Every structure is written in C-alpha cells, then in structure tokens.
Amino acid sequence: MPLNHTHDPAATSWLASANAAGGDFPLQNLPFAVFRRSGSAEPFRGGVAIGDQVLDLAALSRTEGLQGLAAQAARLCAQPVLNDFLALGSPAWQALRHALFALLHSTATSTTEALVRACLVPQSAVDYAVPTRIGDYTDFYTSIHHAHKVTQLVKPGEPITPNFQWLPIAYHGRASSIGVSGQTFRRPLGQAMAPGASAPVHGPCTRLDYELEIGVYIGPGNAQGEPVALEQAESHIFGVCLLNDWSARDIQFWEMAPLGPFLGKNFATTISPWIVTLEALAPYRLAWTPPAGAAQPLAYLDTASNRQAGALDISLEVWLDTAQRRASNDGLGCAPARLSRTSFKHQYWTVAQMVTHHTMGGCNLQSGDLLGSGTISGPGPAEAGAMIELTAGGRQPVTLAGGHGQPEQRAFLQDFDTVILTGWCEAPGRARIGFGECRGQVLPALNA
C-alpha cells in the first residue's frame, strides 16, 4: 500500500490531545472500535480514536459532515458490530479514513470543527465491546523463536516440527470466549497429568499463562472453494489489534496430543478494543525473508511484494499488575512491572501468508473473522511472549521489577494478576501510532 497524505508526520489536528508527543492516537492513526458511554444503556456503535476522544460515527452519520462513499461507510459503522463495514473493502475504508482525516485536520474550518466536536466522547467515559461478530477464530503458531524455546522445554534436544518452515501452523479456536480489554475470567478447571503420575488429577489450573499476540480482522471474505492468492491477501485484511491467548499449560500439554489444544485454550481470549487499519500501518512495513538456511517457501506462499514489504514492525510489551502492587498505596506509586518487549517483525510468516494458507484448501473466511498470530517472541531472552518461556517452564521464576516491600516472583500467573499488552509503531521520519492496551485479569477458580 503506497504512502499518502494521511501518513504525513507533520499533519496535526485542531484537537490538542491528538498532537501530544508519544500519544497512541494522533491524526495519522484513526483506529476503529465499538463503544458506548460508560454505565449507559445506549446501543454500542462504531467510533474512531483521536487523541483522548472517541469520534462517534453514528452521531457523525446524522450530520452533513460526510458525503458519498465515506458517508455510506460511516452509516455501516453506526451498527453494534463492524462486520458490514469490514465487508465493504479497502476503497470504502480509505474513503472514510481520508474524510475523517480532513475533518480532524488543523486546517478544517471552524464550522467543521464545531460539527465534529459535537460528536466527540472522552475515552475515559466509554465502555468498549468486541468490535465484530466473530464467526470463526483461528490461532496460528508462527514465531520460530517461541517454537524453538517451547520445543526445548517439552522435548529437550529435539528439533521443531519439520512443517514449521513450510506452512503457517494453526488450530481452529473458540470465538465465544473472546472478550474485549477489561475482561476477567475464572482460573480454568481441567485435567492435568503430573510428571511420573499414572493418572491425571482434576482441579484448578496450576500453570496459567498468557500469550502475546496480534489479532488480524478479515475484511471481505472469500467464497468457499476459492482460495485467496498471496498477491490479493492483504485486500482481505482490515486491520490489527492486540490479543492475549490465555493458556492453561498443565491442561494443554496433557490434552493436546494428538488433536491439538482444547480446554487449555478455550476459556478466554482478550483483545484490545482498537483495530489499527492496514492503511495506518503502511509506513511501518519491512522486507520479509526466510531465515538464513531455512527452506524457501512454496510458490503459493511467495511473491515479490510479500518479500519486499510483507513484514510489520510493531513494537510490543507485556506488563504485569498484581494484588500486592495495587495494595501498595504508600504514596510512592507502584506501576505494573514490565515482563518483556519485542517486535512483530521477528515473526516467521507474514499476515498475508497466514490468510492465503488458511484459504488454500477451500476454507471460506468471512468478514469479521479473527486470526491470532501465535505467540510473538523475539530472539533475545527478554523478548519472550509467554511466561512459560520467561521462566523456563516455571523452573526459573521471574522477579517483578520496581515493586515495594517484599519482591514478588512469578513462575506462572496467580489469582488477581492483571496482564496488560501494549503496542506501537514508529519509524524514522514517520509519526508514532499506538494500539492502546489489552488488559485482562485472572479471578480465582470456581469453588476454589
């Protein structure tokens, strides 16, 4: 996708909070969510983030602010889910983005500014919802660094499975338990087989983990039996969010042979409310190449454009807040502890290759479907996207930095722990855009 005037790093808005250095939501971002005023019974509807505000697209649709294709697109965003808007495809997405950019730009007239100001709601005063009706959710496994580390924990000395370098591995997940940031869930119950035991035990998960991922929303779908060629794959992608694939490791490793994850993965998945569009991500593309010595992809997973700019440089962090940290009200403050930092640029497969491989057998993707990237781990030890890697399977607990009183350690997650994912993009000579946050909390197990 070529860069255009909406990527101009010098562009500013008449809304001062959009121009704050280091903010997630400058004029160049314009991500989409579904929201309503906190504590209200209003219908959920689509909105776009600008600075510290949400631009209410339902309210804007009732004005004369938009015309033509942009107005048609905004009317579809006035619904409680964005599926119909996502189905429109990139010409409509671009028409709306460019129209909103003009309305919010510092050169807009005072009449325009007044019209748009009447449609703003502070982000501090809204609740979000899952932004699409997710028909199907698929979770990939596309970080070679994660694959290497987990394989060494589970089967020391063995190589990763030979299919990894030939295809983007995935399993079909569960859409019903996906929740938006702020989600809480009970520690799952399940079966686990202890090392050396002859029978499994049933009870609360003892090895609860998170997985740092991005989520990919499908725009226009494909007809069943008609695969999406790699050259067209990105026209089927609307945008990207942050995603936490909560994982019960003890349950997962007992149950997943030979058919794959089940209860270890299906109890909760948390997503960030904001979908950052592929157009907004255009300045942060990187070349994609298989690692030195790895197989070259089969022809259907290889194009010049995917090699030239298939990768995405999205910086990502994982933070942990705990009951002890929240209780340390000594006036010094006790922020969450950072657990890791990495980038999506290290991922083995691109989002386009994931879409193409998913459809190659004839499977139809539908508008609003969600793909998880799989755990995102970089090459360094501080770049691990899951606790199982950070703690070597729980054997080397991490000490949480910066707390007060007794230092806390974690081998796996404890009750009332909150995991916060953040993400942003920056590049030389380009604006910085952010994803907001993806926050979820573990509650005690049922009857625990």
| Site for Ca ion, rule CB under 5 A | 139, 211, 245
CB of 211 to Ca ion, least distance (A): 4
Q: Which is nearer to Ca ion, 239 or 385 (CB)?
A: 385
Q: Which is nearer to Ca ion, 367 or 373 (CB)?
A: 373
What lies within 8 Å, CB to CB, of 373 at 6+ separation is 140, 142, 143, 213, 214, 215, 216, 243, 344, 347, 351, 354
Q: Which amino acid is at 218?
A: I
CB of 250 to Ca ion, least distance (A): 16
CB of 214 to Ca ion, least distance (A): 11
Enter the tokens of residue 70: 């942009």
CB of 378 to Ca ion, least distance (A): 16
CB of 438 to Ca ion, least distance (A): 14
In angstroms, the CA 230 to CA 208 distance is 36
User: Catalytic: which of 146, 346, 357, 358?
Assistant: 146
Q: Which is nearer to Ca ion, 85 or 254 (CB)?
A: 254
In angstroms, the CA 45 to CA 387 distance is 36
Q: Which is nearer to Ca ion, 92 or 243 (CB)?
A: 243
146 is catalytic: yes
Q: State the sign of the Cα–Cα–Cα–Cα dihedral 130, 131, 136, 138.
A: negative
CB of 47 to Ca ion, least distance (A): 28
In angstroms, the CA 286 to CA 290 distance is 13
CB of 265 to Ca ion, least distance (A): 7
Residue closest to Ca ion (Cβ): 245
Q: Which is nearer to Ca ion, 421 or 431 (CB)?
A: 421
What lies within 8 Å, CB to CB, of 304 at 6+ separation is none
In angstroms, the CA 358 to CA 262 distance is 20
Q: Which is nearer to Ca ion, 209 or 279 (CB)?
A: 209
In angstroms, the CA 67 to CA 366 distance is 28
Residues marked active site are found at 146
